Amino acid sequence: MAYPLLIAALLCFALFLHPYASYPLSIRLMRTRPVTPDAQAPLPSAALFFSAYNEERALPDKIANLEAIKALHPDIVIYAYDDMSSDSTRAILLSRSDLITLIPSTERTGKATGMRKMVAQASADICIFTDANVILAPESVAPLLNIFRDPQVGGVSGKLRYINDADSMTANVGGLYWQLEEHIKAQESRCGSMMGADGSIFATRRALYPEVPPHLLDDMTVSTSVMFHGLRLVSGDGVIAYEKSTTSSADEFRRKRRIACRAFNTHRFLWPQIKRHFPLVDIYKYVSHKLLRWFGAPLLAAGIALLTAGLLLAGACKLALAFWLVGGIALLLGYVVKFGPFAALAEILTSIIATFIGVIDALSGKTYQTWAPAKSRN
């Protein structure tokens, strides 16, 4: 009886680690599919969109960034949606009507509704989506639009870089996680399509913009939907954006939980189309990159429980006790003492738990439609 339990434990641990270890290695073995822009095709027109709620502290830098983008691309049209901010966000945006077309709201609706309203006002070929607190390198717009000269490309994701990794252990761990995420996305793109884009910076063809229910993640829905049309979602070399990460563990827990809830609700909305339109290789990518991560906590817990039971049945009681003692000491050093690498492991474990709680929220019918900036981000 012990050996089947130990084998099952190893399988759980393998599935838990797969999105971060064996999956990135597996896609490196896949054939490269280069992006081939047609140099003779005209550069498509573009509009840039962002939603804001209580972003008065971030807007001065954002507006300066938009001015720099506009200087390089005078024809780009910039839209902003104010989701009933209670600070001076709307007044700041209205004061720059020469630069920004403001789409106001009369009630809190959430980002997905705001994006849909802005896209409905636009006529440009390409929609560039970003966030109010994100700074897009102005020289990124040209290479982004150039990629759309390849008719097989339906969406382009930029590369996000966090600029405050040293501010706290939470920010540091978040930055390291994001470096791995960017590496995986680049490898997915190299051999076909990425499995969704982050809302900080991505773009799609306006003609492909889908209907996005208000409680879902607009970035995941919009970016994934381009693949339902047989087109690629690729990572854009030279398309760089910058953002501050949260520095508070409590803020990051709430953020991860909210995002996971919305992501899993989005998954349930998209899954029928994914099964219908995705080739098997992309289903493998999606399950590896998305689905297994959402269930990381129960996989890890099951692996620990099965390993413990297997060791006890095998008569290795001292080994089982040592396993739990080492784990308990590691948690103590991480959560209470906050010592070095153990504190980093504690942050990672907290993030995994927050993600699964978000999935439980989604399964129990909970939704998150509106948002507020994390206080520790500023």
Please give the chain's pLDDT, 378 residues, in tens: 788 999 999 999 999 999 999 999 999 999 999 999 999 999 999 999 999 999 999 999 999 999 999 999 999 999 999 999 999 999 999 999 999 999 989 899 999 999 999 999 999 999 999 999 999 999 999 999 999 999 999 999 999 998 887 777 887 888 888 899 999 999 999 999 999 999 999 999 999 999 999 999 999 999 999 999 999 999 998 999 999 888 888 889 999 999 999 999 999 999 999 999 999 999 999 999 999 999 999 999 999 999 999 999 998 999 999 999 999 999 999 888 888 888 889 999 999 999 999 999 999 999 988 777 766 565
- b/e string for 302-336 if b means 16 or more Cβ within 10 A? bbbebbbbbbeeeeeeeebeeeeeeeeebeebbbe
Domain carrying residue 187: 33-246
In a domain, 8, yes or no: no
End-to-end CA gap in the chain: 54
As a whole number of angstroms, the distance between CA 326 and CA 334 comes to 12
Q: Which residue has the tokens 């927050």?
A: 354
In a domain, 335, yes or no: no
In a domain, 313, yes or no: no
Q: What is the CATH number of the domain that holds 121?
A: 3.90.550.10
In a domain, 52, yes or no: yes
In a domain, 27, yes or no: no
Question: How many angstroms separate the Cα of 336 from the Cα of each of 328, 340, 352, 375?
Answer: 11, 12, 18, 23
For residue 137, how far is the Cα from the chain centroid?
Answer: 19
In a domain, 320, yes or no: no
E-assigned strands of 214-259? 232-243
As a whole number of angstroms, the distance between CA 245 and CA 161 comes to 9
In a domain, 231, yes or no: yes
> Model's pTM, two decimal places?
0.93
In a domain, 139, yes or no: yes
Question: Parallel, antiparallel, or unpaired for β 201-205 and 153-162?
Answer: antiparallel
Q: How many domains is the chain built from?
A: 1
